[in-house]
A and B are shown apart, each in its own frame.
Chain A
């Protein structure tokens, strides 16, 4: 048992800490604030406090727990809401009311709840790490696979079907005459990636229901993406949309150093909204981490790792997981805060020199893998992180370090957001390196995808070039063909790319509808060019009722779309090819 020797913000130094280890969790002071040892000098421990140190005194006790900061894994995770250290916020709310007091504890997995355990192996079966020994129907959407934890190997001596808590043994494994009990719960250190058999390339589209992603800048399962943007440009809404609609098995939403009301809104909406594919409530496939900006800074650093560890755990069951983190900048700032207190040599803008490697140690845990254990299975973790650059200046260190790591960039544009063009993802500066990874996926469903996508992007590129001329000579002075191009570009922007998260129908657009929408616009372009060539003026093209019909495509529900668009095409061919009729 040690004693506080020094307090300086989140930095606490304690004496008499012989026998402690680095990364061990300690309890500080009378209130038992959670801290983590980050360094040892003789029997003096350097501790980062994950809770507010205000009011601590010299000489208060510091107790080592002998445990490394780790995550509890097992049934009960899905639908839970945790703080950055995996305390259950729902449990805390019940215990102590609406204000979070320091030092209070709440375990991550409920200890009293019984889960139905259904064995998948039999007595006498040989098992080792990662093997699935049974399943628990955790929610209607998630079948929780109970896996053999690391370091255990042997033959099943006994296994019990029935209802158990996470602490009660469900199986006994014998090895060299020694018998070990297995429960449904295991622990994993937050900063250590979980192992896999083999890493695979990201592949297949992670369907998001957002047209500019799915069709233009696709994200692949197992990929890593970043969404940088100034305040108010739509980072949070974009991540919320991903967490809502992504067609994965499970999503993890990490709110890191952001707003409480936003978390409340997310939590509320996930209790109302249904997954478009299964019709079940979204919270049945979601885990939330809420470490809001007014909660202690240091826990932000842990929260991201807590989230990614849970993601890997579900990946290991053979699932596709999406983790969104809002915002990684607040995470990096937590590192800066601690590093400053430790008087480490500051790098750019005061960030520690290891910020880049810490960022990649997070993003690198994304990926598609062949999981450890039997039966053979594949799983993936896809990561999308928001970056909040000061002054919306992308040259700052967090954005720049992130760009070196990620393979899909959704760059948010302040001027689009100001005009309320949402999502304000710039079509000129965003990119995805997953186009090849999703090519097969798209080609099976929409053979023209690559071409349509490329021609639409080309139109937008040409618009940007024409824009400079327009500013000099005005739009009226352009040749008719350029005026048409500007009209088409506008249609692509407003009638295709623009997609309100709050529109009852348009909030989620299935890829098939997205494809047909863009094809319709490109078909219109083709027909309009023919009309121009046959001497019809741009004005009558622009005022064609078809233009209006196209602008209303978003309102058509996913289910009726194919039929409605079929009608639109025949109308288009009729009035556009024979304008006189």
Chain B
């Protein structure tokens, strides 16, 4: 399908080209920030965006640069409207590119509505605080960093770490207790390799989730500018399914690092004043306007849960990409190269990981009454053990006292029994909590001071008989 037929208006008289920026005469009717087509002198068509409009000039950023522009014959074609996604329930089971066009060989979607891909902010007074526990079957997540519906919880990974396998496991296993509800998965591939994208697609196919999934694919070889619109298209589809079709939608965005690199590239071409390490100052807001589209809304049945994946450059969590993300999302699941080297799957660093919504999702009626206490006590015990492990690398474990040795061993056991599990192993939350209690058995009982005494009497294996 030739997209240019949709572009109804044309502007000419390009006066200057500078880097990727085209300065044209004022174009009446063009909208601020709209996506345009730039037809070069040689007939080639490139994408662009109207980033500054005035009565004197229109500045269009051309994606892919404008070095060979023949100014006299270049045309800008525009629609006079911002990018919209055609939606209907027929988007389920379909695959689109970063402009929202089908790439699976199927027909165009017969639209029930056209939605602006930027969405609109949810009124905070009408948000429903997330409260439904999603059981992923993974102890390090369910027990210590629980995911709830309507949360935005990213995975901070490093190159070569098994984030794709973990997300695939979550997609396979995730359930919400006692509910049979309509769910959907929206998947956006952002500048990843074709192989990684098809790993996800195959996975969805194998679990039979494909017909309830929508995919937006922008691989490494696709245009960079479409990397900016791809996640927005995905979120627009997710919002439609959640708020109009009452579905519980899980959105997977991978790899957001590629998205941020694209943002940086476009910003530096615009010669904007950079903030940290060359990333634009508005990156926080830019990411927030996407991630904030997660949530639940009162009076509406559906929900949008977002799980972005990003690779931390140099495994550095203070790098602007993970840093700004962590400032926006409701926690993060951080993968550790160290645990991976020890052969632990999933290699989740529970100290750096956090779920800010855990307290909303757990407890009596949701998981189990002792969950909150178990979670706090597990952290305290593991932190103590890890601290002693650090000391003992210098002085040797023999030099520790009896109590300290117990904690040291306990930390190892915690990694082997609690964090580590099979890629096909689906633990119920009760299994997860019971493993934690098993580990508490090795500790002096009076040290369990973060647990209510009644729970100790009820759940500590020695009292359970």
Which residues from chain A sit less than 8 Å from chain B, CB to CB?
Answer: 5-8, 13, 15, 52-59, 81, 89-90, 92-93, 97-101, 230-232, 255, 257, 259-261, 263-265, 267-268, 290, 292-295, 297, 330, 333, 336-337, 340, 346, 349-350, 388, 390-393, 418-420, 470-477, 494-495, 500, 502, 543, 547-548, 551-552
B289 contacts A261, C-beta separation under 8 Å: no
**Chain B residues near A90 (CB, 8 Å)?**
125
Known pairs A98-B123, A340-B272, A476-B401; A261 contacts B295 (CB<8 A)? yes
| CB-defined contacts of A292 to chain B, threshold 8 Å | 121, 124, 288, 292
Contacts A261-B130, A393-B318, A418-B352 given; indicate if A92 touches B360 (C-beta within 8 A). no
Q: Which residues of A contact B140 (CB under 8 A)?
A: none
Hey, which chain A residues are within 8 Å of B128, CB to CB? 264
21 A-B pairs with CB atoms under 8 Å apart are A7-B53, A8-B53, A53-B32, A53-B33, A57-B30, A58-B28, A59-B55, A90-B125, A93-B125, A230-B326, A231-B323, A232-B332, A293-B288, A294-B122, A340-B272, A349-B276, A388-B327, A420-B376, A472-B395, A476-B400, A551-B446
A232 to B356: give the CA distance in the assembly, Å. 8
User: Which of B's residues lie within 8 Å of A, judged by CB?
Assistant: 26, 28-34, 51-56, 80-82, 118-130, 150-151, 272-276, 281-282, 284-285, 288-289, 292-295, 297-300, 318-320, 323-324, 326-328, 330-332, 351-352, 354, 356-357, 359-360, 372, 376, 379-380, 383, 390-392, 394-395, 399-401, 404, 446, 449
Closest B residue by C-beta to A92: B123
Q: Are A390 and B326 in contact (CB under 8 A)?
A: no
Measured in the bound complex, the distance between the Cα atoms of B380 and A157 in whole Å is 69
Chain A residues with CB below 8 A from B125, complex form? 81, 89-90, 93, 264, 267, 290
Residues of A within 8 A of B320 (CB): 390-391
Contacts A293-B292, A419-B351 hold; do A55 and B129 have CB atoms under 8 A apart?
Answer: no
| Neighbour of B331 across the interface among A53, A232, A470, A551, CB < 8 A | A232
Min CB gap A392→B, angstroms: 7
Closest beta carbon of chain A to B424's beta carbon, Å: 30
Given A260-B127, A390-B323, 11 extra CB contacts under 8 A? A7-B32, A54-B33, A232-B331, A261-B129, A267-B124, A293-B285, A293-B328, A294-B121, A294-B293, A470-B391, A502-B372
In the docked arrangement, what's the CA distance between A474 and B379, Å? 23
Whole-angstrom CA separation of A470 from B400 in the bound complex:
11
Interchain CB contact under 8 A, B120 and A349: no
Contacts of B391 in A (CB 8 A): 470-471, 474-475
Write out the residue numbers on chain A whose beta carbons fall within 8 Å of the beta carbon of B297: 98
Residues on A with C-beta less than 8 A from B404 are: 475
Q: A259-B330, A548-B446 are in contact. Are A93 and B123 (CB under 8 A)?
A: yes
Query: Which 6 residue pairs of A and B lie closest in terms of their CB atoms, listed nearest first?
Result: A6-B54, A293-B288, A391-B318, A264-B127, A294-B292, A231-B326
Main secondary structure of the interface of A (DSSP, over half): mixed
Task: Say whether A290 contacts B124, CB under 8 Å.
Answer: yes
Whole-angstrom distance between the alpha carbons of A290 and B380 in the complex? Answer: 35
Q: How far is the CB of B402 from chain A (nearest CB, A)?
A: 9
- B273 CB contacts on chain A under 8 angstroms: 340, 346, 350
* With A100-B121, A390-B323, A475-B400: A261-B31 Cβ-Cβ less than 8 Å: no
Asked whether, in the complex, the Cβ of B394 is within 8 Å of the Cβ of A264, the reply is no
Please measure, in the bound complex, the distance between the C-alpha atom of A290 and the C-alpha atom of B29, giving whole angstroms.
34
A5, A297, A474: the one contacting B54 at CB < 8 Å is A5
Could you tell me the distance between the alpha carbons of A476 and B399 in the complex, rounded to whole angstroms? 7
Beta-carbon contact of B123 and A100 below 8 Å: yes
A470 to B391, CA, bound (A): 8
Could you tell me the distance between the alpha carbons of A433 and B151 in the complex, rounded to whole angstroms?
A: 40
Is there contact, CB below 8 Å, between A420 and B383? yes
Min distance, Cβ B301 to any Cβ of chain A, angstroms? 13
Whole-angstrom distance between the Cβ of B16 and the nearest chain A Cβ: 17
B358's closest neighbor in chain A, by CB?
A: A502
Q: Which of A53, A81, A337 contacts B124 (CB 8 A)?
A: A81
Chain A residues contacting B51 (CB-CB under 8 Å) are 8
Report yes or no: B284 in contact with A99, Cβ–Cβ below 8 A: no
Is A6's CB under 8 angstroms from B150's CB?
A: no
Query: In the complex the two chains form, is A477's CB within 8 Å of B394's CB?
Result: no
Q: A473 vs B51: C-alpha distance in the bound complex, in angstroms?
A: 62
Structural contact, B275 and A350, CB atoms closer than 8 A: yes
Chain B residues with CB under 8 A of A230: 323, 326
- Neighbouring A residues of B292 by C-beta, 8 Å: 259-260, 292-294
Q: Measured between C-beta atoms, what is the minimum distance from B325 to chain A in Å? A: 9
Shortest A485–chain B CB gap in Å is: 16
**Cα of A297 to Cα of B284 in the assembled complex, Å:** 10
- Least distance between A55 CB and chain B CB atoms (Å): 4
**A contact residues around B282 at 8 Å (CB):** 297, 337
C-alpha spacing A494/B326, complex, angstroms: 27
Cβ A56 vs Cβ B31 within 8 A: yes
| A477 close to B120 (CB less than 8 A) | no
Interface centre among A255, A294, A475, A500 (most CB of B within 10 A): A294
* Bound-complex Cα distance A476 to B402 (A): 10
A435 to chain B, nearest CB (A): 31
The answer on a CB contact under 8 Å between B122 and A98 is yes
Residue from B28, B299, B318, B330 in contact with A59 in the complex, judged by beta carbons closer than 8 Å: B28
Nearest A-chain residue to B401, judged by Cβ: A476
Residues of A within 8 A of B56 (CB): 6
Chain B neighbourhood of A548, CB < 8 A: 446, 449
Most buried by B among A230, A255, A419: A419
Establish whether residues A419 and B328, one from each chain, have CB atoms under 8 Å apart when the complex forms: no
Contact B121 A89 (CB under 8 A): no
Q: Out of B33, B121, B401, name the residue touching A55 (CB < 8 Å).
A: B33
Cβ of A33 to closest chain B Cβ, rounded Å: 11
Chain A residues contacting B400 (CB-CB under 8 Å) are 474-476
Residues of A within 8 A of B360 (CB): 265
Give the contacting residue for B55; candidates A58, A100, A261, A265; CB below 8 A.
Answer: A58
Residues of chain B within 8 A of A263, CB atoms compared:
124, 127
| Across-interface contacts of A502 in B (CB, < 8 A) | 359, 372
Measured in the bound complex, the distance between the Cα atoms of B446 and A471 in whole Å is 26
Q: B287 — nearest CB in chain A belongs to which residue? A: A293
Bound-state Cα–Cα, A231 to B404, Å: 31
Contact with A93, one of B126, B130, B326 (Cβ below 8 angstroms): B126
Contacting residue for B399 out of A89, A259, A474, CB 8 A: A474
